[in-house]
Amino acid sequence: MEHAIEKSAVGAAMTLEYDIEQDDFSRAGEASSKIKKLLKQLGIDSGIIRRIAIASYEAEINVVIHSNGGKITVFVKSDCIEVFVEDEGPGIENVEMAMTEGFSTATSAIRELGFGAGMGLPNMKRCSDNFFIESKLGESTRLKMVWSI
């Protein structure tokens, strides 16, 4: 299947990969926490780290709440950091609506847990320097976020 979003490890001085399980609330946030810890050790500017942390946290939660499970991959390249999030479906019916603030497809059970405010994707876009999303109903959702360092 042809994808418009390019995921390439070329030029990556370091690659991190984390598997995220559907509905695993007890571990939700662990991957983004590990990413943040590692980036701090690299001495990357704390403002950039904070934005990466927020964006990857939102992405991770989305995978837990809305998808059938997925993977977060981080490439640390010489002039940028790329974060890829890819899941195993079910796909987003209307990506433009999903990117609107306040729009959420979360069930009431999810909302009761405090999630599903409809700010995840807009937050991710706002926190990243470059944001790309690709999804169709019945297919996987693919995200790419880039930060210049």
Going by C-alpha positions, the residue among 12, 20, 23, 97 that lies closest to residue 59 is: 20
- Comparing CB distances to other proteins, the nearer of 47 and 138 is 47
Site for other proteins in 105-144 (CB under 8 A): 123
- Comparing CB distances to other proteins, the nearer of 48 and 95 is 48
CB 64 to other proteins: min, Å? 14
Is 44 a binder of other proteins (CB under 8 A)?
yes
d(CA 100, CA 22): 23
SS3 content of the chain, % helix, strand, coil (to 5): 35, 25, 40
Single residue of 9, 14, 97, 137 touching other proteins by CB under 8 A: 14
User: Using the 8-state DSSP alphabet, how is residue 58 labeled?
Assistant: H
Q: Is 137 exposed, middle or buried, given 0-12, 13-18 or 19+ CB atoms closer than 10 A?
A: exposed
- Comparing CB distances to other proteins, the nearer of 140 and 145 is 145
Contact positions vs other proteins (CB under 8 A) = 13-14, 29, 32-33, 36, 38, 40-44, 46-47, 49-50, 53-54, 57, 76, 78, 123, 149
